[in-house]
Amino acid sequence: MAEMSDVFFVDGMRTPFGRAGEKGMYWNTRADDLVVKAIIGLMERNGDVPKDRIDDVAIAATSQTGDQGLTLGRTAAILAGLPMTVPGLAIERMCAGAMTSVTTMGASIGVGMYDLALAGGVEHMGRHPIGGNVDPNPRFVAEKLVDPGALNMGVTAERIHDRFPHLTKERSDRFGMASQHKVQAAYDAGKLQPDLVPVAVKDADGAWGLATEDEGRRPETTLEGLASLKTPFRPHGRVTAGTSSPLTDGATISLLAGGDAVKELGLRPKMRMVSFAFAGVQPEIMGIGPIPSTEKALKKAGLTIDDIGLFELNEAFAIQVISLLDHFGIADDDPRVNPWGGAIAVGHPLAASGVRLMIQLAAQFAERPDVRYGLTAMCVGLGQGGSVIWENPFFDGKKKRK
């Protein structure tokens, strides 16, 4: 009989993230090839894991069409050289795709059905813009089930500013600038590079190169520069390109394992899954989604927000993160929050981003044995939020030295 099991995040890797569009480094690279490259890199780094022991491969994509279609988990597994005996599936929950890949595979491990699984996501927003090639049911608008603006993520961000006037544009600008500076500091300190899989890329002239770093970073960002940016989602609005995640291409992948597999194969997990939750909110203000999902995840874990020592929050928009921090009484510049920056600087390839949060949290856990619990959380299009709470296996109970 299968028994309940702990769920461990053994390792995670990702491609460098590229700017979406014709000028981006992945314009001539297929979406499925990005996730294949990530899988190959992860399996090479974890060579002691027998490929035929992978029970399932879950790969998410928001736009499941073209080179992001055809049951990505299965096709990517085959293309990455996993045995034909390894099955796979595709998952779609917009921005929380990779997060849902992890929680779905994690749940399968938790109930004892799986021992090992791969979970991740990919988004080529250059080839597949959000909402492209879809046909929303006319009832959404005809019956006023959802405001038409709910499908424009920037409009939903403006509405959070409307609802909470004390969350000012100046606070968003300051948060956006800090993200850029923190990401560059993390690069300068070599924090992010170890988990990046280099990708061969071809430019418009047919010349080959190697993508080794996130392409969209703007470390020179200043408050003065941000203050002068246009507000594309509303005249005289408060959301700008400097406080929004850019359109991005990229892929992420993680290796999950149950307790028995960890012992049998001598694996060294980077995190243990404690709880997870998803929640729905009004689509018109989808950015507040992580608030109820985090409350649910904390309740399931028997924890409070004060127990969380590190936060990896997806920066779809600065205002979205600030609204969560404000709700829980956490300062905008709290050092526990996104210490290595976030999506405003590195990008947000929709369905891939959840595992990027986990990769960064795992790397921080290794450096912070004084921290026991961490949170990865994100808002999700059409009015949802997703949260996963993790435990640090390196926790030693000692307070951090100043």
Q: Which residues are catalytic?
A: 95, 348, 379
Shortest CA distance to 35 belongs to which of 3, 7, 69, 1?
69
Concatenating the DSSP letter of every residue in 179-193 gives HHHHHHHHHHTTSSG
Residue with tokens 């299009």: 381
Shortest CA distance to 341 belongs to which of 218, 238, 232, 254?
218
Tokens of 171: 């606070």
Residue type, 140: F
- Say if CB 5 and CB 112 are below 8 A apart: yes
Across the strands, what pairs with 202? 208
Tokens of 215: 């392409």
Q: How far apart are CA 305 and CA 66, in angstroms?
A: 41
Contacts of 143 (CB under 8 A, 6+ apart): none
Question: Beta strands 384-391 and 373-380: pairing type?
Answer: antiparallel
Q: What is the distance in angstroms between the CA of the first residue and the CA of the last residue of the chain?
A: 49
Q: How far apart are CA 335 and CA 338, in angstroms?
A: 8
Query: What secondary structure letter does DSSP report for 399?
Result: P
Question: Beta strands 199-202 and 208-211: pairing type?
Answer: antiparallel
Q: How far apart are CA 106 and CA 121, in angstroms?
A: 15
Residue 383: how many other CB atoms lie within 10 Å: 20
Residue 328: how many other CB atoms lie within 10 Å: 16
Q: How far apart are CA 48 and CA 76, in angstroms?
A: 21
- Say if CB 42 and CB 12 are below 8 A apart: yes
